[in-house]
A = this chain, B = another copy of it.
Amino acid sequence: MNDQKKVSIIVFSGDLDKLLAAFFIATGAAAAGQQVTMFFTFWGLKLIQQTTVKPRGLNWLKKLFGLMLKPGPDRRALSKMNFLGAGPVLLKQLMRQSKIPSLAELMQTAKSLGVKFVACSTSMEIMGVTRQSLIPEVEQVAGVTTFLVEAQVSSLNLFI
């Protein structure tokens, strides 16, 4: 009998503030011994894309969409008060002052605690994101059906 609590988070947003919230919850739950799955979809995909891979061989529409948002944890905007990037700089500075881990550090902590990263296959198809362009920390590429199986056995589900 497996009594381990499960947490399932849909990471839809690509905004720094919401991603931080998602990872504070994910790492907190994993540290408490819970099994956490993060399902990255739509704007959230940006976080788990490699920063060094150039879009190649895609049609211009997908390329355009890919260029509009930068990949990786370091260039995320705020959902509010972004001020052309001044908001995130300010927030990161405040977090450093309080010795709060950065988004990149939270991602590493999440992985070391066994949080599972799943990329949404439908979003990848729409946006022209290939498996190779994702960071190696992503364990699985899956559709909504796979996510739903996970979600239905989770005692905590969040859409962020």
Contacts and interface: CB of A to CB of B under 8 A. Distances in A.
Given A17-B42, A28-B145, A81-B68, A97 B61 contact: yes
Given A12-B21, A158-B157, A98 B125 contact: yes
Secondary structure at the A interface, as helix, strand, loop or mixed, is: helix
A84 interface: no
A100 interface: yes
Interface residues of A, number: 53
A18 to B, nearest CB: 7
B14 A80 contact: yes
Interface string A130-160: 0000000000000111011001100111111
Contacts of A127: 94
Interface of A: 5, 10, 12, 14, 17-18, 20-21, 24-25, 28-29, 31-32, 34, 41-43, 59, 61-62, 64-65, 68-69, 80-81, 90-91, 93-95, 97-98, 100, 122, 125-128, 143-145, 147-148, 151-152, 155-160
B18 A59 contact: no
In order of increasing CB-CB distance, the 7 nearest A-B pairs are: A28-B144, A158-B159, A98-B125, A151-B156, A24-B144, A94-B126, A68-B81
A24 B122 contact: yes
Nearest to A149: B32
A152 B59 CA distance: 45
